[in-house]
């Protein structure tokens, strides 16, 4: 099924920069990613993952 891109809302790119502090230095990369994913899902933001 093909989607007509003219009917989609305009894309918006957001770059988030952050740094791990001393208090969270033992949190794994996987746990960090899950934290961001959950936060963005709770904010009800549409997510698009790159395919490569």
Question: Whole-model pTM?
Answer: 0.55
Local structure of residue 32 (DSSP, 8 states): H
First CA to last CA across the chain, in angstroms? 22
pLDDT at position 1 over 70 = no
pLDDT at position 23 over 90 = no
Q: Which residue has the higher pLDDT, 21 or 47?
A: 21
pLDDT at position 49 over 80 = no
Q: Which residue has the higher pLDDT, 27 or 16?
A: 27
């Amino acid at each position: 099924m093909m989607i007509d891109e003219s009917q989609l809302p305009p894309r918006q790119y957001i770059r988030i920069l952050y740094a791990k502090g001393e208090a969270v230095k033992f949190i794994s990369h996987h746990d960090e990613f899950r934290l961001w994913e959950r936060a963005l899902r709770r904010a009800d933001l549409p997510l698009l993952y790159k395919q490569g």
